[in-house]
Structure 1
Amino acid sequence: MILWLNGELVPASQARIDPADRGFLLGDGLFETMMARHGRVAFLDAHLLRLARGAEAIGLALPLDPARIATACVKLLEANGLADAPRAALRLTLTRGPGPRGLALPPEPAPTLMIAAASAAPPPAGLTAIVATPRRNNRSPSAQLKAIAYLDNVLAKEEARARGAEEALMLDNDGHLACASAANIFIWENGRLLTPSADCGILPGIVRAAILELAPGLGVETLEDRIAASRLSRIEGAFLTNSLIGVVPLTRIGERALPAAHPLTARLAAAYELLLDSADRNG
């Protein structure tokens, strides 16, 4: 595997990150996970805008402008033989770089920027889920940042595996539905499409935004809302979204089976695929 690290393409076996890097020691950094199709990164501008906004929020200057980061992604795909791959995953990690011991910010940060690429499997037809014990802290300033400190989500995902499910649904500290371990969630309730609101500790996802834009054109009423966990027992269907899986239905939550092929979920998934195809042709 070839990595892009601080401006250079290097074999993963030769890559070196400073042992004092604050991303490694403190989780002081951000990341983006992106999907590329035949060498073109889907919603690249939106990902880089979110990265830039997140970096500004934590007081970290991007070491490269978005155009150069975009070029790095293309070169990395080529270096790994993925320029023609139907699906490839890109992981961009930005940290504040090395610093002295303790929590105080380094006076002159030297950020670390790394991009990795790998082939990506097709998304599953459906997923099962449980409501996990770990919570999303909706009062944390990092809740809406794609921060690399992901331990709560890791533990939630492991709980799902231990309980025989594939995904973990996480609640916020007030008991409202927030997200899955690495995805946003939508539910169907009384014919409307609902998704947790921004104050529920969610990361506002790129695909989430696309679905909210596409839905009205299909005659689907949407609502961003605080969704109590008890409402999950009455929903008509649900699906997850993220940049790698796109739109994937949930077939079971806990012991309750859900309709595997809600017709409106299928229509939204098809509209999203058309959006990707259009971006590929026009990008």
Structure 2
Amino acid sequence: MDLLNGNPVDTGSLKALALTNFGHFTSLRVDGGRAKGLSLHLDRLVRDCRTVFDAELDPARVLTYVRHAAEQQSGSFVVRVTVFDPALGVGQPGADARPHVLVTCRPVAPDQPPLRVTTTAYQRDMPEVKHVGLFGQLAVRRAAQRAGFDDVLFTDPATGVVSEGGTWNVGFVDDQDRVVWPEARVLPGVTMRLLQEAHPSVSRPLIPDDVPRMRAAFATNTTVGVRPLSAIGDTPLDAKHPVLTDLRRRYEKIPADRL
């Protein structure tokens, strides 16, 4: 069941979200009534609400709405929590905001094969915020797929450093079997944070010329966990590298929080 502030969704509010497309969200995977990094997802919503709307969001209220929506589901599914104000229009986005909470659920996608990606110079608006403005990244993802790739890996247009994927963080495995996270302006992903805590890693700036010296790479977000990259551009990568297997094992062992 999709809920707006704990009640069935009305089409007028959804129309406002569709036409104005101003807000932020988080997505979390629920398995057996539990979700990894639940407190981190709630913290993100509170933080981004201050940034986007200059308003406070009650995490306990959000969790109540999530629980209510999840009661209608079973097994494994993905919950998306979108925060927006249907009263804010294109002409007056600077008005005081009264954030509403939309909770939607969708099935978990089946396991997907490794990704073959290309690189594109692109940076999301306000990269540190998980906002609903997806046009730019979907446009470059579409261009990558039309060119025969599965997805796209961004490089900073100003500095050239590798940053993040279309809707995922990226990590690398170097020739010393260390996990290397790009040091750049990126979304601070919840799954990335959990993996950083579960597995030794380093962060440093990376450029595309560093990719051939990497042994493996992976995409990560709440829905895919750890998904190998088979190639970046013309550079093949080991999609079955032992470090990736270890990352997946460690991630699966991270305790999940009950909703």
Structure 2 residue 76 is the aligned partner of structure 1 residue 99 = no
Number of equivalences: 257
Which of 228, 232, 243 pairs up with 2:207?
228
CA distance in 2 between counterparts of 1:259 and 1:103 reads 50
- Give the deviation of 1:96 after TM superposition: 3.2
Which of 93, 108, 120 pairs up with 1:132?
120
Unaligned runs of 5+ in 1: 217-221
CA distance in 2 between counterparts of 1:232 and 1:255 reads 10
Q: Which SS does the other structure have where 1:165 is aligned?
A: coil
- Match of 1:159? 143
**CA contact 1:94–1:111 (8 Å) conserved in 2:** yes
- Give the deviation of 1:29 after TM superposition: 1.2
Partner deviation per Cα, 1:21-55 (whole Å, 9 max, x = no partner)? 4x544443111111110122332211010110111
Which of 212, 233, 243 pairs up with 2:222?
243
- Match of 1:111? 99
**CA contact 1:60–1:96 (8 Å) conserved in 2:** no
CA distance in 1 between counterparts of 2:90 and 2:252 reads 47
- Match of 2:155? 171
- Give the deviation of 1:143 after TM superposition: 1.6
- Match of 1:219? none
Cα separation, partners in 2 of 1:152 and 1:101, compared to 1, 3 Å: closer
- Match of 1:279? 256
Relative contact order (C-alpha < 8 Å, sep 6+): which is higher? 2
Structure 2 residue 250 is the aligned partner of structure 1 residue 263 = no
CA distance in 2 between counterparts of 1:77 and 1:157 reads 31
CA distance in 1 between counterparts of 2:32 and 2:89 reads 42
Cα separation, partners in 2 of 1:101 and 1:239, compared to 1, 3 Å: closer
Cα separation, partners in 2 of 1:169 and 1:101, compared to 1, 3 Å: closer
TM normalised by structure 1 equals 0.83
CA distance in 2 between counterparts of 1:38 and 1:228 reads 40
CA distance in 2 between counterparts of 1:201 and 1:101 reads 27
CA distance in 2 between counterparts of 1:103 and 1:225 reads 41
- Match of 1:9? 8
More divergent stretch after superposition (236-245 vs 159-168): 159-168
Unaligned runs of 5+ in 2: none
- Give the deviation of 1:255 after TM superposition: 2.5
RMSD: 2.1
